[in-house]
Structure 1
Amino acid sequence: MWRHRLRTGLTIAGIAVAIVSFGLLRTVVDSWYAGAELSSSGRLITRSEASLSFSLPVTYGERIRRLPGVTGVTWANWFGGIYINDKNFFPQFAIDDSSYFKLYPEFIVPADQLSAFQSDRRGVIVGRKTANKYHFKIGDTVPLIGTVYPGNWVFTVRGIYTGADDKVDESQFLLHWNYVNETIKTVLPSMADRGSLFISNISNPAQAATMSASIDSLFRNSLAETRTETQKAFQLGFIAMVDTVLVAIQTVAYVVILIIMAVMANTMAMAARERMREYATLKALGFGDAFVFMLILGESLSIAVAGGVLGIVLTFPLSRAFFSATRDLFLVFEVTSFTLMQQLGSAVFIGLIAAIAPAFNSRRISIVDGLRAVT
């Protein structure tokens, strides 16, 4: 391995870069699905059958609440305001303040802040991540330019919520649906008394499919039919919109491995060609073809695994740095044990494939031809 130290070192470095790239790309794909995987299994989302852009009468909430097996209902509307300019994006929802946080216990709000929010029609509760990013503090005023609901809106930060764990979304900006509804009645009456999403808690998550069908049957053949699904299925619907991009990322991850495999194969072919006389000498001394085969295979695997282990070690600090730079894109960004297994497996695969051709060529070379070889 160390006869040509520069070549071996560069090969190990190249494999390490490929393994790091593979790990990061795989983690990007996993992170897109992480939010859906962490969703509550006992929470259903009801929306318009036609499209998310169509709202539903808020009276639907009371009808859903009366169904056996439903333990709680709330609703939310996408607000979509602009803070200062288009670059300052954070999710904003007009919520029912009396029921929303009961259905989202993972949003931790201090009791005094929740009380202050509920008593102030213009109050808002902001996620810790958004508050930190824009330096919002309790009592600050936040002006928004309405898009879905036109006009200039001014809100006051009355609370900052934190997640029950580090996998909870802390980016939301939650305001009073009642305040928005009363204001919009004077401007666009057709948009009043309506909700975009109805969120239901059910007592038995195993009955999610049955409960979803029961909810949708309530509004079948009405002017506003519904589509109900689990929170996980709802979020996977959004992920499906970028499914082509995710497939492209996965394809690039595997192409990187194929490229470095070709480089490794070339390295091993050069090394084996240079040592034909040595392999012939070993055979003349009585060592069999299998011994020479294992020498080449062992060298190839050693180089590949060394590069793979280095790549795996570097994946952790680089993934943390990547997550710090892209916190607005991903809820979580964790390198899973399955990804680590894929990285190590890819390194071993590279070593095996790269050794096949030179190892079999060494078996075909006779002792006489090998000793005549000029290196």
Structure 2
Amino acid sequence: MVLLKLITRNALRHRLRTALTVLGLTIAVLAYGLLNTVVDAWYAGAAAASNARLVTRNAISLVFPLPLSYENRIKGVDGVTTVARSNWFGGVYRDPKNFFAQFAVSDNYLDLYPELVLGDKERADYVRDRKGALIGRQLATQFGFKVGDVIPIKGTIFPGTWEFVVRGIMEGRDESTITRQLLFHWDYLNESVRKTSPKRADQVGIYVFGVENPDDAAAVSHRVDAVFKNSLAETLTETEQAFQLGFVAMSNQIIAAIRVVSYVVILIIMAVMANAMAMSARERTVEYATLKALGFGPGFLALLVFGESIAICTIGGALGMLVTPPVASFFKQATGGVFPVFRVSGETLALQAACAFVVALAAAIIPAAQAARVRIVEGLRAIG
């Protein structure tokens, strides 16, 4: 009880310094949490991808398409179930800043994506409308789209102004599902391209297909690639998760830089905290000598210093963790949905708590050792 009272009084003795230290800790823990959440958001697409879905693309590069004739040959591979087509459209809605994914897909595409929930009526309306499109809930919320709206998109890969009629809004199965995309008919794209650029017709960007047994995904991938070995367009087949991670890998340097910055933030606040504790220890040399003269041992004095450091870091860390989710929500809205999934995970909160605890211990080690080594004679010499 005496120890807790002394820790509390020591922590509140210089209230301004303590308040500024707590503020610094709060900002540092908040910054670390946000940076870690940015990294998680970068991997969100890959994390939500399924290992039960495989993606086949041109082995040279995604830039080169695959012939439409490959579809039936993939269907004939043992272990393959539904095969769907997908082409990246890459159009611009009003302004290049309004970026969102657009895919031309076959009508069976959603059969492979149970996490994208769509009503039967909406799906039937979409199938009947040649210019029909499906949009995700996050995209609809961002731009205020609703069923029946016409969305004009200026093509970049496929020139011209394309108009799509919203026939349905896809909901996510859970909050981790990314619903910030527009899907439209692959046949509509192919028919239009055949009229303007016949040589580009009957070309597919990627084939997405399911497998009967997810455990056989690797074997099925090898079988598919073996079918097209030594052909004019050899294939590379991998799980959807590996396919998504390939895009993330292009940004490895950016992600590494973000991680480095987050660690630097923690190191800086550790130095600030260590300086604050060192100042406190120097100011209390006489008090520590007096306590030793009264019979309190070095361990008790070290506990005083560690206790004060832990108390300050606990308050600062708790405040930082408390404000992280609302600040992350504000950041998501302020960035205009750049990150469709920007959610503070339990792992991030645990890392924030761990960082605050490590800072508390590291900052108090040297001051605690100095307090424990105070000699009574030297400490009391300053009295008077």
TM-score, normalising length from structure 2?
Answer: 0.93
The answer (yes or no) to whether the contact 1:308–1:344 under 8 Å persists in 2 is: yes
Cα gap change, 1:223 to 1:4, in 2 (>3 Å):
same
- Provide the residue aligned with 1:326 in structure 2: 335
- Provide the residue aligned with 1:191 in structure 2: 200
Choose which of 244, 251, 260 in structure 2 pairs with 1:242: 251
Cα offset, 1:140, TM superposition = 2.4
Distance 2:375 2:19 in 1: 31
Choose which of 163, 173, 187 in structure 1 pairs with 2:182: 173
Q: Does 2:30 align with 1:20?
A: yes
- Provide the residue aligned with 1:268 in structure 2: 277
Cα offset, 1:127, TM superposition = 1.8
- 1:334 is paired with a residue whose SS is coil
Residues 30-179 of structure 1: matches in 2 within 5 Å?
Answer: 30-97=40-107, 99-179=108-188
- Provide the residue aligned with 1:2 in structure 2: 12
The answer (yes or no) to whether the contact 1:276–1:373 under 8 Å persists in 2 is: no
Distance 1:345 1:152 in 2: 53
Cα offset, 1:326, TM superposition = 3.4
Calculate the aligned-residue CA RMSD, in Å.
1.6
The answer (yes or no) to whether the contact 1:83–1:143 under 8 Å persists in 2 is: yes
Gaps of 5+ in 2: 1-10
Cα offset, 1:374, TM superposition = 6.8
- 2:196 is paired with a residue whose SS is coil
Distance 1:359 1:104 in 2: 58
Distance 2:377 2:336 in 1: 64
Q: Which piece of structure 1 moves more, 121-130 or 43-52? A: 121-130
Q: Does 2:368 align with 1:359?
A: yes
- Provide the residue aligned with 1:251 in structure 2: 260
Ranges of 4+ aligned residues in structure 1 off by more than 6 Å: none
Cα gap change, 1:333 to 1:72, in 2 (>3 Å):
same
Q: What letter is aligned with 2:310?
A: L
- Provide the residue aligned with 2:226 in structure 1: 217
Cα offset, 1:113, TM superposition = 2.1
Q: Does 2:269 align with 1:232?
A: no
Q: What letter is aligned with 1:184?
A: V
Cα gap change, 1:152 to 1:306, in 2 (>3 Å):
closer
Distance 2:71 2:383 in 1: 85
Q: What letter is aligned with 2:328?
A: S
The answer (yes or no) to whether the contact 2:81–2:209 under 8 Å persists in 1 is: yes
Q: Which piece of structure 1 moves more, 290-299 or 200-209? A: 290-299
- 2:145 is paired with a residue whose SS is coil
Cα offset, 1:346, TM superposition = 1.1
- 1:186 is paired with a residue whose SS is helix
Deviations 1:214-247 (A, max 9, x none): 1111111111011111011011111111111111
Distance 1:167 1:66 in 2: 34
Gaps of 5+ in 1: none
Q: What letter is aligned with 1:319?
A: A
Distance 2:291 2:375 in 1: 11
- Provide the residue aligned with 1:285 in structure 2: 294
Cα offset, 1:208, TM superposition = 1.1
Cα offset, 1:347, TM superposition = 1.1
Distance 2:153 2:350 in 1: 47
Distance 2:126 2:24 in 1: 55
Q: What letter is aligned with 2:154?
A: I
Q: Which piece of structure 1 moves more, 275-284 or 126-135? A: 126-135
- Provide the residue aligned with 2:6 in structure 1: none
Deviations 1:220-276 (A, max 9, x none): 111101111101101111111111111111111111111011111111111111111
Distance 1:49 1:212 in 2: 13
TM-score, normalising length from structure 1?
Answer: 0.95
Deviations 1:322-353 (A, max 9, x none): 23333622232222222222111111111111
Identity of aligned residues (%): 49
Q: Does 2:346 align with 1:337?
A: yes
Distance 1:119 1:175 in 2: 12
Q: What letter is aligned with 1:154?
A: E
Distance 1:133 1:316 in 2: 20
The answer (yes or no) to whether the contact 1:113–1:158 under 8 Å persists in 2 is: yes
